[in-house]
Chains A and B, each alone.
Chain A
Amino acid sequence: MELITPEFGLIFWQVLVFGILFFLLAKFAWKPIIQSLHEREESIDQAIKLSEETKKEMAELKAGNEQLLVSARAERDALIKQAKESADAMIAQAKLDAQAAANQEIEKARTAFEQEKVAAVAAIRKEAASLSLDLAEKVLKSQLKDKAAQEKLVSEWIADVTLK
């Protein structure tokens, strides 16, 4: 019976000690502990979130970079292709121009040659005519020393003329 009869003294001290204990611990121990545990957890949570976000951003950045690289490469390829095309075109044009110029030159040369030829032929012809005239003159001069021969020739010429 003594065991289950609460003593006044112990009740008094228990109320006092527990009360003081609660007050002091709540103010100087539990409050900073709970607060700082909460803050630490939150800061860890935030750090994790931040790192995840950064990772995501990094991945996005990487993907962007890759895309940029791909587009740059494509642009470069296009540029090279364009340059090549224009170079080819230029070469072709140059070739064409050269051909045309050559042809023109050839034509010019040919025309000049033709003219030269014509002129040469004409000169030769003129020379031949004057030579033959001279020859003829000499021949005639020699042949027409006698009268009979002159007459005969004239008559021949006249015959010829009538024939025409």
Chain B
Amino acid sequence: MSGKSIFKKVYFSNIILGLFISLFSFSAWANEPAAAEATEHAPQQEEKFDAGKMILHHIADEHEWHFFTIGHFHATVPLPCIVYRESAGLQVFSSSNFKNEHHEEVSYQGLKLEHGKIHAENGEKVYDISITKNVASLLISAVLLLTIFIGIGKTYKENPHRAPKGIQSLFEPIIIFVRDEIAKNNIGEKHYRRFMPYLLTVFFFIWFNNMLGLIPGGANVTGNIAVTAILAIIAFFVTNLNGKATYWTHVFAMPGVPKWMLIIMTPVEIVGVFMKPFSLMVRLFANMTAGHIILLSLVSLIFIFENAALGIAVVPFSLFMNVIELIVAFIQAFIFTMLVSTYIGAAIEEHHH
């Protein structure tokens, strides 16, 4: 019951957050014509600041890890590009090959990097599995997760029945929280242990990636639709492959409902089966992306108005938003895990009428 109310609360906060985003992004775009005009009058300025472009660039994936640019100095880490083409086979090369010494985009071995996508110049289909910024961040988070939790696992194995120590005592309450408040409450005493590895992996994966995304210069992994889509698809399979007879009868022939109602109910329920993971995907993606957009928009305000004094208002507010985002990072991991476990709980529920 409490889970449902939390869900509702967060849902509403999402709506408010959404309104905020649209407001800010609108104001950012609205300033554009004026900004363009300003450029004409001041030709000595090299390039006019475009908040929308900057924000979209920051939340999108890229083939190199760009930290900042000061004048002509670009602080970027080139990442490996892995590309497969029928004509050339598998190719691995550095992303720095797409830029010449003047930082201009050039083509490399018949490949061109355009809008963050690698195209073949001859129009051939290119399968791009490059280590992009998001993939690199994903790998970093994986390494972090593995070192931390396998380390903790070892400590548990070496001295069982002891009070937790060090980093173990930091994560133990969270693991117990996931077990008792999320898994046990929603799945039930009988089956919860089976799903613990999955739920813990999902929870810490989302949380760690959310947190990594908040580090300045970090990638927006959990705010990427591909990542959340895969998480949602896995959740879909975990839920439905464990579905018991009761679950499927509720989907296809809701008991206690007049027969003719089933004509409406059954399609709704079937849509619901797909809608649940779809909502998981969109919720995480939208929340994380929204957080990034808000933060970037706030900082952009200073550059849009070209007024450093605005920083007096913007800096505390963006600091406040950053703290909120830290909480959101945890809440989103919690919500995702929590909802998946309610779906699993509903799927494996035994018949009791």
- Where the two chains meet, the residues of A that have a C-beta atom closer than 8 Å to any C-beta of B are 2-15, 17-18, 20-22, 24-26, 28-37, 39-40, 43
B115 A12 Cβ-Cβ under 8 A: no
B351 within 8 Å of A (CB atoms): no
B153 A30 Cβ-Cβ under 8 A: yes
Interface SS of chain B: helix
A11 B289 Cβ-Cβ under 8 A: no
**Chain B positions within 8 Å of A22 at CB level:** 197-198, 201
The 4 nearest A-B residue pairs measured at CB: A6-B226, A29-B149, A26-B197, A29-B153
B124 within 8 Å of A (CB atoms): no
Distance to closest chain B CB from A55 (angstroms) = 22
Chain B interface residue count, CB cutoff 8 Å, equals 52
- The proximity string for B residues 17-56 relative to A, scoring 1 for CB distances below 8 Å and 0 otherwise, is 0000000000000000000000000000000000000001
B265 within 8 Å of A (CB atoms): no
A9 B146 Cβ-Cβ under 8 A: no
Report the stretch among B7-15, B97-105, B131-139, B267-275 that lies at the interface.
B131-139
Distance to closest chain A CB from B84 (angstroms) = 10
A3 B205 Cβ-Cβ under 8 A: no
A9 B135 Cβ-Cβ under 8 A: yes
Instruction: Offer 17 A-B interface pairs, CB within 8 angstroms, sorted by A.
Output: A3-B225, A3-B289, A5-B225, A7-B61, A9-B135, A10-B134, A10-B226, A11-B229, A14-B226, A17-B135, A18-B234, A20-B142, A25-B201, A28-B150, A34-B179, A37-B179, A40-B161
Given contacts A10-B134, A14-B227, A26-B197, 19 further A-B contacts (CB under 8 A): A2-B60, A3-B60, A6-B229, A9-B82, A10-B135, A10-B226, A10-B227, A14-B138, A18-B201, A18-B231, A21-B201, A22-B198, A26-B198, A29-B146, A29-B149, A29-B153, A31-B197, A32-B154, A36-B161
